Amino acid sequence: PSGGEAAMGPVRLERVVFALNGRRHEMAGGDVHPSTTLLEFIRTRTPFTGTKLGCGEGGCGACVVLIATYNPTKDEVTEFSASSCLTLLYNINLCSVITTEGLGNTKDGFHSIQKRMSGFHASQCGFCTPGMCMSIFTSLANADKSKKPQPQKGFSKLTVSEAEKAFSGNMCRCTGYRPIVDACKSFASDVDLEDLGLNVFWKKGDKHADVSKLPDYTLGGGVCTFPDFLKSEIKSSLHHLNDDSDVTVSREGWYHPKSIEQYYDLLNSGLFSDCTVKVVVANTSSGVKGYKDQDLYNKYIDIGDIPELSAICKKDGGIEIGAATPISKTIEILEQEAGSKSSPNGSVVFRKLAEHMSKVATPFVRNTASIGGNIILAQKYPFPSDIVTILLGAASTVRLQVYSETLEVTLEEFLEQPPSDPSTLLLSIFIPHWASDSQKESKVIFETYRAAPRPLGNAVSYINSAMLGHVSQKSCGDLVLSNLHMAFGAYGTEHAIRATKVEQHLNGEVLTPSVVLDAVRLLRETIVPMEGTSHAEYRISVAVAFLFSFLSPFAKGIKGPGKTASIGYASSSDTDDPCNLPLSSRRDTVSSDDHKPVGEPIKKYAVELQASGEAVYVDDIPAPKNCLYGEFIYSTQPLAYVKNIKFKPSLASEKVLTVVSAKDIPSGGQNIGSSFMFGDEPLFGSPVAEYAGQALGVVIAETQRYANLAGKQVVVEYDTKDLKPPILTVEQAVQNNSYFEVPPGKYPKQVGDFSKGMAEADHKILSTEVKLASQYYFYMETQTALAIPDEDNTIVVYSSSQYPELAQSVIARCLGIPFSNVRVITRRVGGGFGGKAFRSYTIGV
Amino acid sequence: PSGGEAAMGPVRLERVVFALNGRRHEMAGGDVHPSTTLLEFIRTRTPFTGTKLGCGEGGCGACVVLIATYNPTKDEVTEFSASSCLTLLYNINLCSVITTEGLGNTKDGFHSIQKRMSGFHASQCGFCTPGMCMSIFTSLANADKSKKPQPQKGFSKLTVSEAEKAFSGNMCRCTGYRPIVDACKSFASDVDLEDLGLNVFWKKGDKHADVSKLPDYTLGGGVCTFPDFLKSEIKSSLHHLNDDSDVTVSREGWYHPKSIEQYYDLLNSGLFSDCTVKVVVANTSSGVKGYKDQDLYNKYIDIGDIPELSAICKKDGGIEIGAATPISKTIEILEQEAGSKSSPNGSVVFRKLAEHMSKVATPFVRNTASIGGNIILAQKYPFPSDIVTILLGAASTVRLQVYSETLEVTLEEFLEQPPSDPSTLLLSIFIPHWASDSQKESKVIFETYRAAPRPLGNAVSYINSAMLGHVSQKSCGDLVLSNLHMAFGAYGTEHAIRATKVEQHLNGEVLTPSVVLDAVRLLRETIVPMEGTSHAEYRISVAVAFLFSFLSPFAKGIKGPGKTASIGYASSSDTDDPCNLPLSSRRDTVSSDDHKPVGEPIKKYAVELQASGEAVYVDDIPAPKNCLYGEFIYSTQPLAYVKNIKFKPSLASEKVLTVVSAKDIPSGGQNIGSSFMFGDEPLFGSPVAEYAGQALGVVIAETQRYANLAGKQVVVEYDTKDLKPPILTVEQAVQNNSYFEVPPGKYPKQVGDFSKGMAEADHKILSTEVKLASQYYFYMETQTALAIPDEDNTIVVYSSSQYPELAQSVIARCLGIPFSNVRVITRRVGGGFGGKAFRSYTIGV
Ligand SMILES: Cc1cc2nc3c(=O)[nH]c(=O)nc-3n(C[C@H](O)[C@H](O)[C@H](O)COP(=O)(O)OP(=O)(O)OC[C@H]3O[C@@H](n4cnc5c(N)ncnc54)[C@H](O)[C@@H]3O)c2cc1C
Ligand SMILES: Cc1cc2nc3c(=O)[nH]c(=O)nc-3n(C[C@H](O)[C@H](O)[C@H](O)COP(=O)(O)OP(=O)(O)OC[C@H]3O[C@@H](n4cnc5c(N)ncnc54)[C@H](O)[C@@H]3O)c2cc1C
Ligand code: FES
Ligand code: FES
Ligand code: FES
Ligand code: FES
């Protein structure tokens, strides 16, 4: 039944058609919730399990797939990698998706990437491997499409330096990356095979490393990424795409307005007034920490199909980029523009913008994430955007639509406006040309900076900056700067800002030490992190360093800093030279036959299966029908009674089937979730949550995503009455005489005569304190368990556990059943590193 | 979107609400297809697996559940057993269903029925046990509700003779029933416990058999069969039930008109013109061989809610029974009527009708199957109905509705009409009183007969009959019959008929030998089985025996036959004495301690789990999501090329996902489905179907029922060109020199000196021929396998196999993979008897 609204054009997508590994899939509205991600679809609705769920936020690469689109007019296929964990299924209408199973598998034979991953020992736990393969494959396929010269037979057009970046967004916890880089480099046209590390194809030190020993590679990758049937379907539907058939607007759905007008018609229909609607382009913002979906959405408006948002217009004064343009595409456009005649000497701005953008997020996020989405995110929230900062530094303007009105304002002005709501559409971004003025003898200078934990991107900045100006020489020979635009962002601010006072202060001044010092002082007054920002002082000092670094070439009487080390922070100019990358260091191993067969290269068993995604991890085990999924509810209080657990009224809360908590522990069972040498650990904090982060219960829902989202709707009522203050530090623990009982055998034994040694020592320790911070367990496969009840009160638990035998005892004790009634099966562990020992039991229980 | 039809009252059931083992379930239209059976729902949508699928046609009892209904006006709960395999889910709206898990289970403790089944060794393979428990439970619950006197503590009001019939519809292949009868009798108020067979509660021969040694039984059964929440829901919905809210008529659905008018409105709506609609009361006809569903239905019209169809009217001349009245209810009414004052001496007709009806089908079918459904079935098809024959014998009339017209015709006339279609509603059946006329000194005589493979019902008759008349004494003392109604049916006829010529011939005649002989001759002319009817001559001779049996008490100069043996055929009067049942024979075992511990009563392991349905058989293993189901396509030709396999256009055919056939056998694999000492047997007849019944392929669908129905839509094109005629007999095989190769070790060895022996013998065999008919494998659990592909080209097959090791090799050879890649797991076998040996491989493959 219709919602009663006026019918409009074909705004609602009633079905999504796509190819997955060459097979056609068609999903109609009722089959799949509009919030379903591509990853979820692949993992739960198809037999393919190679595409893994790691972080679920675009940050690890475990879920990378290749997406190919087809342009029927140009008869052209475009291939790019994408994080399937963020990509919504409805967003891939008419696309072709390839997973690692589509590259190769047991039945069709493995792909050379998969075989080389195996031969170069590039897969240990194997959980990252399928994503690695997909990133590498996409790089090879795209390199081979380029106009570069034909490589030697068996090689790709990819270069060694490209190979080193091919999977820059993919994380691996086990291998240390070196062998993966080797596997990838083995395809590079300019590789020296003998430089590559240990492998099973030849013996290290052999002077016979030779491409013929490697699993065969054919140029292009040898995989049909876009099936013909889908091409035909696209061609034949070309005529229908603009049919004005009536579509009813209903409770759930995916809407894709094809014009600005349709967009506002939808908004005005009254169906989108509640908070259950989400406006998206690529939906990657749902992966950004702090801005992830907090609730389930029922309706999506996909604005990526509005033509104005995808247009690229080269104008006289600059270039206008549609807001829905992906960051990768933007980089390409900027690079082209930088190299083109139309911006002969203003190229530095475009080039450096492009370079900086290449460090934003990961390749597979940049390939879909829109530049406009980034800007809107930064406009609405205190999101530490790089893009906004550098565009601000480049004096960009934006074009907005608000209902029937079109506005053009500077980015600076836009940022100052109140947080925008769906009534504001960002149409495009205009980046002006900055030409050097040969008459005035002024030269454009532009630098961008970011300080982040990793040099190649995939980490949000602590602070970033872009500085633009003209430099010219006074008649006295002194250099002066003018026209300055100095932007800083991400340092703990509502949004990026211009350091106007600093700009004004420096404009036209000779950069003497005192002028620079005053600039630094003014900057320090400008860069004021919001309360609660971590490492505030560090961020400010980095801002000063950026400023100094920008000014020093033009300063008078100041010795400039050398190139900054690439780890701490990087200016975009630092990466010009790829050899700069720490990855390029290498180690030589000389092997000998002395202890044969020790030293023989032996392939780890079943790596090809890991690479092709056929290896079965816990979450890959076919779940029984009606399987339920859980999400822990964690305490946010350190020591408090848990009075009750409720849910906010919301779509996600409606998905809650039940909450399992301490009261559900069967009679005869114990509240135990783990056990180790310091004793047992409760499964749930009950009646008192003992520490923030302790599990209080488990939300149960029909899908993992529903459970996760429902978990965010939890409201726990705490009460600290009659409770002492929590013990939060070791000092407080000592003071309160609160110790773990250390088993006698584990007491540290004194070794040697301490007093004697100290008495005799040249340098004595009179007093000291050693503090060890906590250590976060990290492994690519998240904690997972699958429990299947079996007859006679027994249970089979598939657990990714480093100690299945202890898991068994904890589960049995919690359930109050004999140990023999619990069967714990561990097949593969997708990375453990200690975290899959004691910490895995809780999940199994 | 609506089908565009006019809105009508609340005709469409949008949701079905019921309780299953005390838990509320609500299914809305989209959740469950209207053709879903209760069994399918329980087995695939709930964790309960105790309710088994045996025959799927109401004939075995494996699927028996208790259904309870609630009458809010009388505040009364009615409990009855029903075959969940025939009951449609939408038909149990507002009912409560109890499965064996609801009686007792590991967690809540087992029910005494389950414990006694165990203690009396009444469960072997266990597949029939849950259904047995449910039939027994329903009998106990109903007996305990009766007005019979309070039994001794620990016993039920059930009597021994009732106990022997308590599970009369349930089949067991393993136990021979004796121990089940013992378990059931152990509850009977009038049992002599020492009479019961071997058990673990006391030692046979002990004189201490004593109820206190038995697992405790509380009067009524101790299970809440109707939860309070559902009572409240029913009470509070009373007012809403007749709301005239608009309901749209759509493509799929369950319609339940509440009046005759609504029924015809529906028919006229145009939506029910195709063959995808089914009119039902209890849907049990879908279990009747020859009249089962051949296709999937999308729409059901449930006429059970039309008040006229459920009315019971005692009229002056007889009793009118609504057509939707269940057979069990009809029996009750007839019994009441027979015992009541209103039909003082006509009671014989009602009593014998009731007795005969108690042999129709099984208790759990009779409890829902309507009397009208039976009549319609017999009117439309050559269905061997008992009910029609006996009602015809009782000179019944029927009331029909055809659109706005109501007609009253004799049953005889109705049967003569062309097969009725949905425009004819059978409203009610009128059975007249047959009073003896004291003035005329005439006495009513009525007998009914059926010849069937089993005396207690659950087998369709070879022939049945009912004969009614008045007997009176002529002044000369001779007896004469008048007013005769002689009905015969089920002998291979379009429908039951009156033997009018015989009636006319006998009316008023003294039954001299020649009169009777002529009657027999006339009967032989009347009883003419249709061409192709099996055992035609036998059926005719039984008809004669029935006639003779009816006439002989009144014949002159003929010595009547004794009471007929109960096995061959039974007249309804034969079962008056329950001791008549063969079941009541018993054997005494005297045990001794001489070989202790040999002879100690030992309980079979886990019988309680079998009884409570927790024991896991292959089909009970939680199927993985997206599991697909298959149905074999069998050849209908003995020796013919299979040209192609197609499907009729139909709803069921739309459910076909694919057909797997010989061409899908992987390269490297063989077309092998079984292997035994005579060699390998192909999986599929390809390219030639070698015998009728050989598998040609497997239809794959999303549910087992879809696959089964799709299998009925198959049209195979055969071609016998260039093929010799098939070999169909052993003689033809000998003639064609077509032998199995018998392995040398298996050749029969000659024992003794045959010629010498024969020469010396008193009686010599000069020539003889021994023919052995084929033997049908029979086990309660059907052939089932569940295959789950695993990594590295391996597969796990759960098979109900007597030889898992051979299953493994056959599967591996067919798939062309190493034996070690196949893991066959046999957990339980629900009856094997040889059929789960070689014959189980095919299913596993
Ligand atoms: C792993 C990861 C790492 C990242 N690292 C960085 C980083 O280092 N630096 C950085 O700057 N960014 C980073 N990002 C952020 C990333 O750039 C943004 O998520 C992305 O650009 C958003 O684009 P989108 O098309 O996916 O937007 P969506 O998620 O589809 O939309 C985001 C929001 O913007 C609105 N919106 C989008 N387009 C318009 C428009 N044209 N008009 C009006 N409203 C609109 C949407 O309604 C929504 O509210 C990272 C993201 C991820 C997932
Ligand atoms: C295992 C088994 C054994 C059986 N053994 C016997 C036996 O020994 N002897 C015997 O006589 N029968 C036997 N039967 C048949 C049984 O009696 C019938 O299946 C049953 O009575 C049909 O009733 P129903 O309510 O289930 O009809 P349904 O299956 O619901 O309907 C049957 C047909 O009748 C139509 N229909 C039903 N009621 C009406 C009505 N009032 N007006 C118009 N059309 C109507 C329906 O549209 C449908 O076409 C057996 C059945 C089973 C399953
Ligand atoms: S799971 Fe998608 S990037 Fe980590
Ligand atoms: S092999 Fe890369 S995370 Fe384990
Ligand atoms: S399965 Fe229902 S009676 Fe056999
Ligand atoms: S125990 Fe009854 S069929 Fe096996």
Q: Where in chain A is the domain with CATH 3.30.365.10?
A: 770-845
Q: Which pLDDT belongs to residue A571? A: 45
Q: Does B316 touch chain A (CB under 8 A)?
A: no
Shortest distance between the Cα of A703 and any Cα of chain B, in A, equals 12
pLDDT-derived band at A404 (thresholds 50, 70, 90) equals: very high
Q: Where in chain A is the domain with CATH 3.10.20.30?
A: 15-102+226-252
Q: Which of A1, A107, A615 sits opposite B791 (nearest CB)?
A: A615
Q: Which pLDDT belongs to residue B575? A: 40
Shortest distance between the Cα of B129 and any Cα of chain A, in A, equals 16
- What are the structure tokens assigned to B708, written together? 């089964």
| CB pair distance less than 8 Å for A47 and B627 | no
CA distances to A62, A155, A176, A184, A219 from A140, rounded to whole Å, are 18, 10, 22, 9, 8
**pLDDT tens, residue by residue, B779-826:** 999 999 999 999 888 999 999 999 999 999 999 999 999 999 999 999
Q: Which pLDDT belongs to residue B245? A: 42
Q: Which residues of A touch B790 (CB under 8 A)?
A: 616
By C-alpha distance, the chain B residue nearest A44 is B625
- CATH number of the A109-222 domain: 1.10.150.120
Exposure on the CB side of residue A24, measured as CA atoms within 13 A = 11
Q: Where in chain B is the domain with CATH 1.10.150.120?
A: 105-222
Mean pLDDT lowest among B72-86, B332-346, B499-513: B332-346
Q: Which pLDDT belongs to residue B13? A: 72
**pLDDT tens, residue by residue, B434-462:** 887 777 778 999 999 999 987 777 788 99
**pLDDT tens, residue by residue, B37-67:** 999 999 999 999 999 999 999 999 999 999 9
Q: Where in chain A is the domain with CATH 3.90.1170.50?
A: 621-749
- CATH number of the B307-572 domain: 3.30.465.10
Greater confidence (A271 vs B159) lies with: B159
| CB pair distance less than 8 Å for B615 and A791 | yes
Cβ proximity of B23 and B47 under 8 Å:
no
Q: Where in chain A is the domain with CATH 1.10.150.120?
A: 109-222
Mean pLDDT lowest among A357-361, B10-14, B151-155: B10-14
Give one DSSP letter per residue of B321-364, joined into a string.
EETT-BHHHHHHHHHHHHHSTTSTTTHHHHHHHHHHHTTSS-HH
Residue B688, SS3 per DSSP:
strand
Cβ proximity of A403 and A265 under 8 Å:
no
Q: Where in chain B is the domain with CATH 3.90.1170.50?
A: 622-749
pLDDT-derived band at A562 (thresholds 50, 70, 90) equals: very low
For chain A, what is the mean pLDDT?
A: 90
- CATH number of the B772-845 domain: 3.30.365.10
The CB of A831 under 6 Å from ligand 4? The reply is yes
A272 C-alpha to center of ligand 3: Å? 30
Please give the order of strands across the beta sheet that includes A96-98.
Answer: A23-28, A15-20, A96-98, A64-71, A76-83
A135 C-alpha to center of ligand 4: Å? 15
pLDDT at B748 exceeding the cut of 70 = yes
Q: Where in chain B is the domain with CATH 3.10.20.30?
A: 12-102+226-305
Mutate to test the interface with A, among B248, B621, B791, B817 (most CBs of A within 10 A): B791
**pLDDT tens, residue by residue, A156-200:** 999 999 999 999 999 999 999 999 999 999 999 999 998 898 899
Q: Which residues of A touch B791 (CB under 8 A)?
A: 606, 609, 614-616
Could you tell me the fold of the domain covering A621-749?
A: Aldehyde Oxidoreductase; domain 3 (3.90.1170)
Closest CA to A255 of A368, A93, A376: A93
Closest CA to B542 of B518, B571, B508: B571
B338 C-alpha to center of ligand 2: Å? 25
pLDDT-derived band at B251 (thresholds 50, 70, 90) equals: low
Q: Does A825 touch chain B (CB under 8 A)?
A: no
Percent of chain A with pLDDT strictly greater than 90? 74
B-contacting residues of A 28-47, CB under 8 Å?
A: 30, 44-45, 47
| CB pair distance less than 8 Å for A793 and B107 | yes
- CATH number of the A15-102+226-252 domain: 3.10.20.30
**Yes or no: is domain B12-102+226-305 CATH 3.10.20.30?**
yes
- CATH number of the B622-749 domain: 3.90.1170.50
Closest CA to B371 of B428, B424, B417: B428
- Radius of gyration over alpha carbons of chain B, in Å? 29
Q: What CATH superfamily is the domain B105-222?
A: [2Fe-2S]-binding domain (1.10.150.120)
The CB of A166 under 6 Å from ligand 3? The reply is no
Crossing angle of helices A112-119 and A178-185, in 10° steps, is 140
The ligand whose atoms approach the alpha carbon of A56 most closely is 3
Q: Where in chain A is the domain with CATH 3.30.465.10?
A: 307-574
Q: Cβ neighbours of residue A63 under 8 Å, at least 6 residues apart?
A: A39, A51, A52, A53, A54, A56, A83, A84, A85, A131
pLDDT at B106 exceeding the cut of 50 = yes
Residue pairs spanning A and B at CB distance below 8 A: 58
For residue B509, give the amino acid letter.
E
- CATH number of the A770-845 domain: 3.30.365.10
| CB pair distance less than 8 Å for B609 and A47 | no
| CB pair distance less than 8 Å for A625 and B44 | yes
- What are the structure tokens assigned to A387, written together? 């893009």
Residue B365 CA, closest ligand 5 atom number: 3
Q: Which pLDDT belongs to residue A574? A: 41
**Chosen CATH of A307-574 out of 3.30.70.20, 3.40.50.970, 3.30.465.10, 3.30.200.20:** 3.30.465.10
Task: For residues A685 and A313, give the distance between their C-alpha atoms in angstroms, rounded to a whole number.
Answer: 59
B90 C-alpha to center of ligand 2: Å? 18
A-contacting residues of B 534-563, CB under 8 Å?
A: none
B837 by Cβ neighbours in 10 Å (0-12 / 13-18 / 19+) ranks as middle
Closest CA to A64 of A51, A74, A76: A51
Q: Does B626 touch chain A (CB under 8 A)?
A: yes
Q: Which pLDDT belongs to residue B345? A: 60
